[in-house]
Amino acid sequence: AQSVAQPEDQVNVAEGNPLTVKCTYSVSGNPYLFWYVQYPNRGLQFLLKYITGDNLVKGSYGFEAEFNKSQTSFHLKKPSALVSDSALYFCAVRDANNDMRFGAGTRLTVKP
Amino acid sequence: ETGVTQTPRHLVMGMTNKKSLKCEQHLGHNAMYWYKQSAKKPLELMFVYNFKEQTENNSVPSRFSPECPNSSHLFLHLHTLQPEDSALYLCASSQEGGSPETQYFGPGTRLLVL
């Protein structure tokens, strides 16, 4: 069965600094990987996904993620963090059977 | 977020009450989902409907009963819930075809069981 791990419950960065939110996965077959963001009192919003092709995926709000097959990772990155990026971020993996599994989430706090 | 709507946004109920959560998607999708989100835990997939047919039920207690009358509407009927059922219940939809597709989420219903 597939699974996804987000090793950090909390990530703190200063505004203007680069940010990374980590995600590792375990799946049989080709992985389909997603990042979602959840702002307070809101549902999950899709940020980006990796299905195939270029390992560097660009998404909404200036976010990008790099698929690394050898390290089974799909870390979310942004070159310059904004205070408004503060939210809960979820990594998810979907296998060839279309079963979707989410990580426990990482709370990102960007301080001015 | 107007693509998937959920009502009510907040619900407080006693353990003997019966209530229903409603989800509606305006995206023309053919699959809908119920998830449970508890603090510091991964989202738990509860039910999946494809073309109005239930295709997945992840060992959810029978006190949760889903209903999908058409591809745009999804309900979650609740009865005799327990306090540990308090959580954020999220609805999602997607257009399922040959490749795994993005799921789009509603804002959720925050449920408190007393």
**Chain A contact set for B6 (CB, 8 A):** 43
Residue A75 pLDDT greater than 80, yes or no: yes
Indicate the pLDDT class of residue A22, thresholds 50, 70 and 90: very high
Indicate the pLDDT class of residue A78, thresholds 50, 70 and 90: very high
* Encoded amino acid at B106, one letter: G
Q: Is A60 helix (H, G, I), strand (E, B) or coil?
A: helix
A46–chain B Cβ distance below 8 A for any pair: yes
Per-position pLDDT tens, chain B of length 114: 479 999 999 999 988 889 999 999 999 999 999 999 998 788 898 999 887 777 777 789 999 999 999 989 999 999 999 999 999 999 999 988 766 678 999 999 999 999
A56–chain B Cβ distance below 8 A for any pair: no
Q: What is the mean pLDDT of residues A90-107?
A: 86
Residue A52: closest CA among chain B residues belongs to which residue?
B99
Q: Which of A43, A94, A99 sits opposite B90 (nearest CB)?
A: A43
SS3 track for B37-93: ECCCCCCEEEEEEECCEEEEECCCCCCEEEEEEECCEEEEEEECCCHHHCEEEEEEE
Separation in Å, CA A98 to CA A22, A28, A101, B31: 23, 12, 10, 12
- How many Cβ pairs closer than 8 A exist between chain A and B? 51
Residue A21 pLDDT greater than 90, yes or no: yes
Tokens (6 digits) for A29:
């077959």
